[in-house]
Amino acid sequence: MFEKLYKWTISLAESRHATWALAGVAFAESSFFPLPPDLILLPMAVAQPKKAWLYAAVCTVASVLGGAVGYAIGSLLFDTIGHWIIHVYGYASKIDALRAFYAQWGWAFILVKGLTPIPYKLVTIVSGLLNYNFALFMLLSLITRGARFFILAAALNRFGDFFRHALEKHFGTFVIGLLAIVVLGFYLAAKMA
């Protein structure tokens, strides 16, 4: 089963629409979508290691633009969608404490959380909710998301053949591991509440 899934993923990664799909997932993941763009970025960069830098740039730009949508959800739509999302993550009862923390450490929160498995959409929505400086939010998002995707691109560009062979042999483990990281991220976000 995982061998067929791997071949399907690689063929998708090599299709002419893959870059747009990557951009769409990176954009959506920063504001509402639960799965990270790494699910597409990794096989695309493994299939074409020389394009890993381009794919990292696409992920970065799309993720930052999606972050602006997440910010808008928190800022403009908190009473409807934003409140529901904050409630799902368990932060609804701690808004005042979060506001005080963000006033002092918002910049660090954005930079650190952008690199972790904790869902970035939480960072974007909370930043909008707390009316964090939008220009600074965008700059910090560019730094943290760029670092995340370009570090991955550097590893894939440098060790692409190793990753290709490892994925071919252990694709099922990779999928399960990535899903475990996503679940861990949601769990950590809930525990922080």
Q: Is residue 134 part of a domain?
A: yes
Q: How much is the mean pLDDT over the chain?
A: 80
Tokens of 113: 């959380």
Q: Is residue 13 part of a domain?
A: no
Neighbours of 116 (CB within 10 A): 16
Residues 190 and 20 sit within 8 Å (Cβ to Cβ): no
Q: Is residue 66 part of a domain?
A: yes
pLDDT of residue 117: 64
Q: Which long-range contacts (CB under 8 A, 24 or more apart) does 19-26 make?
A: 19/44, 19/54, 19/55, 19/58, 22/55, 22/58, 22/59, 22/62, 23/58, 23/59, 23/61, 23/62, 24/62, 26/58, 26/59, 26/60, 26/62, 26/63, 26/66
Q: Structural domain tally of the chain? A: 1
pLDDT of residue 9: 64
Residues 120 and 148 sit within 8 Å (Cβ to Cβ): no
Residues 52 and 160 sit within 8 Å (Cβ to Cβ): yes
10 Cβ partners below 8 Å, 6+ apart?
Answer: 43, 46, 47
Summarize pLDDT for 180-193 with one digit per residue, the tens. Answer: 766 676 666 556 55
Q: Is residue 23 part of a domain?
A: no
Q: Is residue 29 part of a domain?
A: no
Q: For residues 95-104, give the mean pLDDT.
A: 82
Q: Is residue 95 part of a domain?
A: yes
Q: Is residue 137 part of a domain?
A: yes
Q: Is the dihedral of CA 51, 23, 58, 178 positive or negative?
A: negative
Q: Is residue 163 part of a domain?
A: yes
62 Cβ partners below 8 Å, 6+ apart?
Answer: 22, 23, 24, 26, 27, 30, 37
Residue span of the structural domain in which 136 resides: 2-8+49-192
The model's pTM is: 0.76
Summarize pLDDT for 43-95 with one digit per residue, the tens. Answer: 788 777 788 899 999 999 999 999 999 999 888 887 777 677 667 767 777 77
Name the more confident of 130 and 85.
Answer: 130
